[in-house]
Every structure is written in C-alpha cells, then in structure tokens.
Chain A
Amino acid sequence: MTGRIFTALALGLLLYCGPLQATTTLESFTFPDPEQQQHFKDLIKQLRCLVCQNQSLADSDAELAHDLRAEVYGMMKDGKSDQQVIDFLVARYGDFVLYNPPVKPSTWLIWFGPFVLLLIALWLLVRSLRRQQHVTQQAISDADRQRLEQVLRAGGHEEDPRP
C-alpha cells in the first residue's frame, strides 16, 4: 500500500517538478530599483526549493517556492539583511535549504574533495613517470643478440611487425 502511494507520489512529483517551467516563477514583485530586484534574484538563487529539490527558489514553480519567495520578499522589504533571511530559513528547514552547502568541517569532503583528487592524480602522474624512467632494458638472450646483429648488418631493414 505504502509502495503504491510512494510510487504515485513519485510520479506526481515527477510530472509536477518536471523540467522547469517558466509559468509564474517570478511573480510581479515590485522593487524600488533594478538593483533591489537583482539583489532579490541573487538571494533566492542561493536558496533551494524543498519540493523540487534540484532547483533553486529562483527557478522552481512549486507552491512552497511561491510561498518562500513571498516570505523572502517580505523580509527584504522589512529591511532584513541577507544573513537574517538565510538564518530564518535555516532555522526552519536546516542547512538543506542552502543551495550551496555551507563550508564547515562536515562539508569539507565536498569542498576539498575535488582538490584532494587532483593531488592524488598529480602524485600518480609523477610516480608513474618516475617509475617508467627506471625501467631497465631487459638483457636479451644470445640467440636474439645474434639475430639482432644479423639484422643490423643487413642495413637495419626489417618489416614492421605491427600493423
């Protein structure tokens, strides 16, 4: 039963949160000047929609996104700072509401991970380069040495064995 409900919810969510639609993503909030409007846009770009979780508040068309945008707009009009708006939402929804995860020890894996990988790759590169510098030539057997001398005497001409 729960399985079916889950699937139904998932399907509903899929159709609902399907690739973004620009229906009413930006209600006609009014701003005193274009800088304020840009400020608002920048702020909501940093916040996540909790329903359509891969979209920011700027892009999502979910009802909750409408509500949260209205909330942010209201707070901005009241003169609250960006940090106050963020703190307000984080207190209620947790760090997840931040579209970019905050940089704190628990998120070092994400923020420094790629660079650690780069360093590992660099180390691998240097090590494999150094190692193959030291590959010594195998001593060839006498039979092969004889064949080699024959070939060299013949002018070094031999068919390339590889296609």
Chain B
Amino acid sequence: MIPELGHFALILALCLSLVLAIFPMAGSLTNTPRWVAMAKPVAWGQFTFTAIAFACLVNAFLSNDFSVAYVAQNGNSLLPTMYKISAVWGAHEGSLLLWALILGGWTVAVASLTRNLPAEVLARVLSVMGMVAIGFLSFLLFTSNPFARVFPVPAEGGDLNPLLQDPGLAIHPPMLYMGYVGMSVAFSFAIAALIGGKLDATWARWSRPWTTVAWVFLTVGITLGSWWAYNELGWGGWWFWDPVENASFMPWLAATALIHSLAVTEKRGAFKRWTVLLSLLAFSLSLLGTFLVRSGVLTSVHSFAADPARGLFILVFLCLVIGGSLTLYAWRAPDVTSGGRFSMLSRETLLLGNNLLLVVISAFVLLGTLAPLIYDAMGWGKISVGFPWFTTMFVIFTPIMVVLMGLGPLTRWKHHAPAELLRTFRVALIVSLAAGLLAALPLLHGDWSPAVGLAVLLSVWLVSSLVLSLRQRYRNPATLKALLQNPAARGNGSYFGMIIAHLGVAVFIIGVTFVTQFNIDKDVRMSPGQSIEMAGYTFRFDGVESAQGPNYRADRGRFVVSRDGKEVTRLAPEKRTYLVQRKPMTEAGIDASLLRDLYVSLGEGLGDGDWSLRLYYKPFVRWIWLGGLLIAIGGLCAALDRRYRLPVPARAGRSVPATGKTLAEEAHR
C-alpha cells in the first residue's frame, strides 16, 4: 500500500513539475502576475510530494518490505538500521529518487530564501529548475521505478553491497548530490538571466552564494569519497581517476572557475558571458556525469548496473537541457555588453587565466575519460587511459594554476604595474625557491626528490602570498582593530574564505606529494608472534581470531605497534564475510594521526596461523583530506558573508534597462 502511495506521490510531483516549468515562465514572459505567483507554492508542492515518495521508500526498507523489487535487491532484515536507510540510495533507482528529492529541496530553498529578487526573475529560475525536475522524475517513473513490485516475494533481501555498509559511504552520495544538484541553481539563474537579457552584476550577486554553497557540498562530497576509499578498500589508495570520480571532479573544476568568475562579474561587471557559460557548463558536467555513470558507455568500478536503454533516455534529456541552454546562449550572448576594461596585468587577467586553466584541466580529464569511447567509436583500436596518464597531466598543469593563485590576491583590479608586482613578490619568490630547493636536496633520504621540492615550492609560494595579502590588508592597525571588534563585518567572510580555501590547496599539495613520495609498503608473510620493522615502527603480529558482527563473520588480526620499545597502538584489521553476499571484504587496521598513518590489511590465511599481510606507512596522508576540508570551510565562510544578506536599498525612479546594454548604447538605438 505504502509503496503505491509513494509511486502516486511521484506522479503528482511530476505533474506539479510540469506546472512549475510552464506557467511561471510563461507568466514572466507574457506579464501574467497570477502565473508568476504560482512559482513558490507549486515548488513547495513538488518538493512535498517528492519527499513523501522518498519517505515511502525509506519505510519500505525499514519495514523489510521485500515485495518491492528495489528493496528485495538491496535490503535485508539483518542490516543495521543506519544502513537500511542508506540502502535507499545504494543503487540506481533509489539514488535517482535522492537526486529528485535534493533537487526539490534546492528549489524550495531558492523559492524561500532569495530576497529582493524580482518576481519574474524568481519565476524563471524556479521554472528552469522545474524543467530539470521533469527530466529526473520522468526518468524515474518511466525507466527506473523504485516502487516496482516483484512476484514471488522473496523471503530475504539481496543485502546492501558490504562495501557500502559504512558511515562514510552513507553520507558521501547525499553530499555529492547536494553539490551536483546545487549547480542547477546557478544554471537556472543563468538561463533566467539569458532569457531576461539582464546579465549584470546584480545577477552575479544573486547567483554567487548559491553557487558557493553548492560548490562547498561538492568539495565535501569528493573529499569524503576519497577518505572513505582509503579507509575501506584495504590498500591505501585514495583516488583512482576512475570515470565516476572524474565525473564528480569535472563539475568541481568548472564550479571553482565559476565562483571566481562570479566574483569578477559582481565586482567589475566583467566576464559576463564567460560567467554565464561557466554556469551552464558546471551543471552540464553534472548531468554528463550522471549519464556516464548510468549508461554503460564506460567501464568503471563504481558504475551502477549498465543499461543502454536508460542511457538513451538520459542522453535525450541531456540534449534538451544542455542543447537548449547552449542554443539560448548562442542566441542571447552576443547582446551582452562587455564590462569594465582591464589591462594585461591585472587581477581580472589572472582570474581569467585561472578560469581558462581550470576549464582546460576539466577538458583533458574529459578527454582522458572519454578516450576509450572516442577510439572505439572512430575505429582507431582499443586504448584506455589510466591513472598514470591523468596524474602526469594533472601534475604538469597544477603548478601553473598555483602560480596564478599566488599572484591573484595581491594583484590590483584593472591595472597593476609589472615592476611593482615583482617588487611585492620578490621576497616570496626567493623564499619559495629556496624552500623548494632545500626540500629537494637529498639530505633526509639520500635521494634527490624533485617532486617534493616542487610541492614545497608551490605550497610555500601560496602561503607567502596569503601572508603578504594579510599584511597588506591589515597594514593599518585600525583595520586590525576593526576586524577584532566585528569579525563578521561585510567582506570579511569572502576574504577569509579565500585565505582558508587557498591554504587548503597548499595543505592538499603537501599531503598528496609527501604521501606519494615517502610512503612505504610491505607485502609480507607473517607467523603469530613475529615482528617486522617499518619506518622506525615495530609491528608485532599476534595472530588472527574469529569474530562476529551483526551481519557478518570476520577473521580479526591483532597487531601491536611500538616505537623505541614503547607501545604506540594496537591494530585489528579484519577480513569479513557478510552472511548474505558472501564475498570477502577487508577492513584495514589504521592508526591515524596528523603526520602519518599506519595501515595494516589482511591478505590470505596461508595455513599454520600464517597470514599474508600488507603493511603501510603513509606520512601526511591526512593532509589530503584536511586540505579538502579547509577548502570547503573557506567556501562556507565566503558564502556566509553578511553582504549577501543585507537588503538591497530601494531604487527610486530609476528604471533598469530591459537589456544589459549601457545607458549610452540604449540612447543610440
């Protein structure tokens, strides 16, 4: 009964989405206030029914209703409650329902939280979000119904994939989807602006906090995914350049370019067309990612069960949404005026360069991801591009970006004399080069490490730039006092957000490079009682014993780790066999700390109590996710800047032109 209710709720949500997509948009174009006013309530209606549908599916899992095919495939009565809930989004149909729910959530958030947005603009934005919702809800209802029943009803469910039975994995998809779907807000604002012809700084200001928050979620989602993979997969890897990971990384790159571009459009009125295009690009890449993951076009360890029929549906949807938006862009963009002028050396130039670079990186990630498909489709043979290629390219391009990142905050808007800039950075340049050289020297480990040298150079460069920036901003003691008296003043959020986020990048670079260069791994066979040395630590293997979990059986190893004779930690890596799915799964034993991780995972029992094991020493690995976290926190600070929540003062008697043209150009027509 309840699943049918859920199904019905979805249908209602789809109907309301149709209403939302059509009437407010039409109303804004034909000047029908009644239709325009429909936007908010209809948006709420759509969200409510989607939420009801979602609740019905959660209920089906919690009540072990195996007559619902999706629950029969992914649920199980022995599953702990937390995982019964996260099983809802553990496979294709349910994850789509989560997408739809989050989309509804962002829609009502925009409907309720934007202030001072003219009703027609809000109507257009909500209509576009409604159009996206139509796509997802119809995809659900026509090809991927989560409420389909199965006969005969199985006695037990197929169980959630054991790898997904982890708190990290429970929260990773929702965070990621919040990011992906959040990009639709920027997308909708861009479309609304293109339709209305008003692509000015105001538009950028409305769009910016939404985009930043979505970007924060995406950052958190990706960071969580990487952290989870490291903890769960048993061999210490944290990024694989797998197509599905790339599918999340590309929108992130575009969104990073977007938030910087929005800043320029808001402050200087420049880059308008570029910002619009990036807004369209970020969400397009989200949708493309959805396609790649669910269509079977690419091989991936993460992808949902491939189905070309579903793939076709998404492809058609992509054509309509992305093709439509790009057509609108081609039509309206030429009418957008260029904004403020700036000289060759200026913050605008650096930001533009940075944005282009981010797009180039995103483009080659796409190239690498699609390469197998391109070659296959063109009949050029079969190739594939793996981890080494992506890493090589990324390592070549990132330093260029970091150099620009360092220069940016200290370069003036509009114009900055090159000689003066050089003078500002003279010390920073020398310090960075010196630090890099020092780090590369074979002092500590007997080998030249150019990679480490480069990483240190880039990080010190970034940090020096931040220090210089802080010094410049708070040169006057009065400004410092003002900061301490009122930390939440306008502009501080954005500024410190930048500082923290850029610092996060520096931390990330250190983490990645140090763990790659200095990690030690040993594959050994050990007998109980045997000890082994690694990186100054002694690992004593105390054998493996049996253990039982709520829905699994495990072999649990015991390790005592000591250093200089003193015990540091005990590790208990496990090899679990889940009772339903029966495939063995490893849980690594990890001792985490800021400067290093000690990591042990069980291999196979070799008889007589001997086991094959993998031990890892991973220095600075936590810095990777610390960096990601800092970036997210920085974004959050920026989004919470009070300037976005100040009311816009009322304009008296000044009519805003219908197009983005300046007053002067208007007069010439």
Contact = CB atoms under 8 A, between A and B. Distances in A.
Find out whether A and B make contact in their complex, taking CB atoms under 8 A apart as touching: yes
A163 B205 contact: yes
Contacts of B232: 19
A100 B233 contact: no
B241 to A, nearest CB: 8
B543 to A, nearest CB: 18
B380 A101 contact: no
B654 A161 contact: yes
B552 interface: no
Interface string A78-111: 0000000000000000111001110000110110
B303 A14 contact: yes
B175 to A, nearest CB: 18
Interface in B336-369: 338, 341-344, 349, 352-353, 356-357, 359-360, 363-364, 367-368
Contacts of A48: 384, 386
A54 B305 contact: no
Interface string A126-157: 00110011010011110110000000000000
B240 A54 contact: yes
Contact of B663 (A107, A133, A144): A144
A121 B364 CA distance: 12
A113 interface: yes
Contacts of B634: none
Contacts of A122: 356
Nearest to B361: A114
Contacts of B386: 48, 54, 56, 99-100
Contacts of B664: 138-141, 144
A143 B602 CA distance: 83
A132 B240 contact: no
Interface stretch (B31-39, B120-128, B486-494, B577-585): B577-585
A124 interface: yes
Which of A19, A23, A109, A140 neighbours the largest number of chain B CB atoms within 10 Å of its CB? A19
Nearest to A27: B612
A108 to B, nearest CB: 11
B317 to A, nearest CB: 22
Contacts of A118: 357, 360, 397
Interface residues of B, number: 83
Contacts of B163: 18-19
B235 A135 contact: no
Contacts of A100: 386, 388-389
Interface in B566-600: 575, 581, 583-586, 588
B94 to A, nearest CB: 16
A19 B380 contact: no
B547 interface: no
B353 A125 contact: yes
Nearest to B271: A128
Nearest to A143: B667
Interface in B214-259: 229, 232-235, 237, 240, 242-243
B302 to A, nearest CB: 7
Interface of B is mostly: mixed
A49 to B, nearest CB: 10
Interface string B441-462: 0000000000000000000000
B509 to A, nearest CB: 20
Contacts of B296: 10
A72 interface: no
B306 interface: yes
B384 A162 contact: no
B330 interface: no
A28 interface: yes
Contacts of B389: 100-101, 110
B381 A26 contact: no
A56 B241 CA distance: 12
A21 B234 contact: yes
Contact of B604 (A11, A24, A56, A140): A24
A5 interface: no
Nearest to B356: A121
A125 B421 CA distance: 20
B371 interface: yes
A147 to B, nearest CB: 10
A39 to B, nearest CB: 14
B200 interface: yes
B430 interface: no
A143 to B, nearest CB: 7
B208 to A, nearest CB: 12
Contact of A94 (B360, B367, B374, B382): B382
B322 to A, nearest CB: 20
A26 B614 contact: yes
A7 B584 CA distance: 23
A11 B307 CA distance: 11
- Per CB-CB distance, the 5 closest pairs between chain A and chain B, nearest first, are A22-B234, A114-B364, A121-B356, A26-B523, A163-B648
16 contacts: A22-B588, A22-B601, A22-B603, A22-B614, A23-B234, A26-B523, A26-B603, A96-B382, A99-B386, A100-B388, A101-B371, A117-B360, A138-B665, A140-B664, A141-B664, A144-B664
Given A21-B585, A106-B381, A144-B663, 13 more contacts: A18-B163, A22-B602, A23-B604, A26-B612, A54-B299, A56-B386, A95-B383, A96-B382, A114-B367, A125-B352, A129-B344, A132-B341, A162-B201
Interface of B: 116, 161, 163, 200-202, 205, 229, 232-235, 237, 240, 242-243, 296, 299-303, 305-307, 338, 341-344, 349, 352-353, 356-357, 359-360, 363-364, 367-368, 371, 374-375, 380-389, 393, 396-397, 523, 525, 575, 581, 583-586, 588, 601-604, 606, 612, 614, 648-649, 651, 654, 662-665, 667-668
